[in-house]
Amino acid sequence: KILQRAIAKYSPSISECTEMESIHGLLISLFGTAVKSAFPNLPDAPVVITLSGNNVKFGDYQCNSAMPISNMLKQSGTKVAPRDVANEILKHLPSHQLIEKLDVAGPGFINIFLNRTYGLSRLSTIFSHGVQPPKLEHPIKTIVDFSSPNIAKEMHVGHLRSTIIGDSIARLLEYLGYPVLRLNHVGDWGTQFGMLIAHLKDKFPDYLEKSPPIEDLQAFYKEAKVQFDNDEEFKKRAYASVVQLQSFEKDHVKAWKMICDVSRKEFQKIYDRLGINLQERGESFYQKHMEEIVKELDSKGYLEEDEGRKILWADAPGNGSIPMTIVKSDGGFTYDTSDVAAIKHRIEQEKANWIIYVTDAGQATHFQLLFKCAEKIGIVDRKKHRLDHVGFGVVLGEDKKKFKTRSGDTVRLVDLLDEGLRRALEKLEEKDRHKVLTKEELEKAQTSVAYGCIKYADLSHSYNHEYVFSFDKMLEDKGNTAVYLLYAYTRIKSIARNANFTAEGIKEMSKEHSISLDHEKEWKLGKVLLRFPEVLLKIAKDLYLHCLCEYLYEVSTAFTEFYDSCYCIEKDSSGDIVKINHGRILLSEATALVMEKCFHILGLNPVEKM
Ligand code: ARG
């Protein structure tokens, strides 16, 4: 009975398919059912499904549960050889059209061979329904807190990394159907504002009537800092200004807004160029919430006095544990306070079930403490709420030292993007593209390559490592780089174009012909494309975007292998088309469509001609 129900559940008729689905997920369900009914006494028996690797002999996927199950049985006193365990699993496996063939190899590996008809039906959904994401049972409300530069201080490469990684995580989750709120937690409320406002009043006493010329906010910040460090009287006024600001005194708020606006405009320029969409909700937003939560924590007895400060312990004091500082000795709030208030607001008001913070790895301790404290004070329930800190490594210059300009200053992001544009154009000209493309096409290719290579270099490295920022490396046209992949994409797109098919024409073609998967290399490429959903689902779990870059590279390599051995269009000696292989053109287009989705998630804008 269980078996019949399972079969019904796992076997939709092929014509009902509307999306590619996670084959890995499906195999886990099928083998999970089999393991459960074969070994009902081992409820914790592991269901391990992996890719088989490159040898076709071992099938496409493998179930490696037999060995651990045999061990578990042994521990409970029954001796069953792993091969027999494997055969027992097979006996209980619900049948499914996904599976072509199964065999048991070596000490009990189950090799799983996929069925082409099934693969074809799933791949065909690309033309009937578009590249649809796998359906999620419970998409949960998610907040991605990323970019988050500080007002009046410079937005540096670290913030660029946060911007790129955060945007891509948000894009992935949005594509998978999660409701995502993208928040820019800008540092717009620290003590630096006292200093800035006091300096503004000194230098531009008429600031309320005439907007002050402080475009170069960083220089202005430096001046203010010098005053602050050298002039006791100024320092006092600066502190007084913070207090005034935090109690929302009108003129102080006005000055603060002016200062924030200058930075905001600068940040926005970067976001516009990189196509980043996010909502500003900085520390200042939480002022009232901070006042409230401090009262609440105090009354509930969570805060401890410590030399005038009020602190909150996540763990028992001692053993190297550190507390959060909730109120400073001068009564002011801190970064910690704003994050405690923010997490409360996000969970209770925004109803988020998942919050992802993207910052440099240096803040890992801060977020560990935050998560623990939030749990301790009853805001977060780990059974309902998922919290992640995506902490990335520092960006280094080619000299392997902290990324700086030659004169030792922080690199301005606009300058960096400009250099990217310049270098991308050089690269295109090196390949004589300016002779083939129209001015407009060239410009499009240039921006695509410039911003694409900066983003891709960042995303294709596992983010917990530091990484070396090098335009030379990024712009290489071999290996797993944006340039290589963007080129590969244009080449694929040109196949249908050269055979005079428009997008409409391809759609029509897909109604009459089906994707060709007969040739060994076609089927190999098809199987890589079929893995798209499971790759996405895995990344939604661990947030390792470099896996998507690796996948994209694998798609393009599998395509090259296919294209090297399979003609899509045959021409005669005079260059006239004599034969069109429709099934292969469709396979090429399906490849391009899957690549487009990958590019989209990574925030790259591929162009058709380059
Ligand atoms: N402004 C901070 C920085 O520049 C990052 C803020 C990250 N978000 C947060 N909720 N703490 O390092």
Residues 432-447 pLDDT 10s:
999 999 999 999 999 9
Given a cut of 60, whether residue 9 has pLDDT beyond it is no
Given a cut of 70, whether residue 5 has pLDDT beyond it is no
* Residue bearing the CA closest to ligand 1, atom 9: 185
* Residue bearing the CA closest to ligand 1, atom 7: 148
Residues 362-402 pLDDT 10s:
999 999 999 999 999 999 999 999 999 999 999 999 888 88
Can you give the pLDDT at residue 15?
61
Residues 444-475 pLDDT 10s:
999 999 999 999 999 999 988 888 999 999 99
- Mean pLDDT value across the chain: 93
Out of 162, 343, 344, 359, give the residue to mutate to test ligand 1, the one with the largest number of ligand atoms within 8 Å of its CB.
359
What does the alpha-carbon distance between residue 64 and residue 82 come to, in Å, rounded to a whole number?
Answer: 10
Residues 473-514 pLDDT 10s:
999 989 999 999 999 999 999 999 988 899 999 999 999 999
* Residue bearing the CA closest to ligand 1, atom 11: 339
Can you give the pLDDT at residue 409?
81
- Residue 579 Cα to ligand 1 midpoint, Å, equals 59
Of 209 and 296, more confident: 296
- Residue 212 Cα to ligand 1 midpoint, Å, equals 28
Worst-scoring range by mean pLDDT, 213-222, 255-264, 302-311, 347-356? Answer: 213-222
Residues 322-337 pLDDT 10s:
999 999 998 889 999 9
Out of 363, 392, 394, 410, give the residue to mutate to test ligand 1, the one with the largest number of ligand atoms within 8 Å of its CB.
363
Given a cut of 80, whether residue 105 has pLDDT beyond it is yes
Residues 55-79 pLDDT 10s:
888 999 999 999 999 999 999 999 9
Atom of ligand 1 lying closest to residue 335 CA:
11
- Identity of the amino acid at 118: Y
Given a cut of 80, whether residue 14 has pLDDT beyond it is no
The two beta strands, 180-184 and 142-145, are parallel
- Residue 447 Cα to ligand 1 midpoint, Å, equals 29
* Residue bearing the CA closest to ligand 1, atom 4: 149
**H-helix or E-strand containing 207?**
none
- Residue 295 Cα to ligand 1 midpoint, Å, equals 24
Please give all residues whose beta carbon lies within 6 A of any atom in ligand 1, as ranges: 145, 148-150, 185, 187, 339, 342, 357, 359
Of 400 and 296, more confident: 296
Q: What angle do CA 87, 90, 94 make, to 5 degrees?
A: 165
CB 340 within 8 A of CB 324: yes
Can you give the pLDDT at residue 216?
84
pLDDT tier at 210, thresholds 50, 70, 90: confident
CB 160 within 8 A of CB 167: no
Out of 147, 148, 156, 157, give the residue to mutate to test ligand 1, the one with the largest number of ligand atoms within 8 Å of its CB.
148
Residue 463, token pair as written in the block: 């983010």
- Residue 187 Cα to ligand 1 midpoint, Å, equals 7
In sequence order, the β-bridge partners of residue 383 are none
- Residue 152 Cα to ligand 1 midpoint, Å, equals 14
Q: How many beta carbons lie within 10 A of that of residue 233, not counting itself? A: 9
What does the alpha-carbon distance between residue 420 and residue 268 come to, in Å, rounded to a whole number?
Answer: 18
For range 205-215, the mean pLDDT: 86
Atom of ligand 1 lying closest to residue 360 CA:
12
Atom of ligand 1 lying closest to residue 145 CA:
8
* DSSP line for 311-354: EE-SS-S-TT---EEEE-TTS---HHHHHHHHHHIIIIIS--SE
The two beta strands, 61-63 and 49-51, are antiparallel
pLDDT tier at 3, thresholds 50, 70, 90: low
* Residue bearing the CA closest to ligand 1, atom 5: 148
> In percent, how much of the chain has pLDDT > 70?
97
Given a cut of 60, whether residue 11 has pLDDT beyond it is no
Given a cut of 90, whether residue 296 has pLDDT beyond it is yes
Worst-scoring range by mean pLDDT, 31-35, 311-315, 461-465? Answer: 461-465
If DSSP states are collapsed to H, E and C, what string results for 112-164? EEECHHHHHHHHHHHHHHCCCCCCCCCCCCEEEECCCCECCCCCCHHHHHHHH
What does the alpha-carbon distance between residue 408 and residue 428 come to, in Å, rounded to a whole number?
Answer: 31
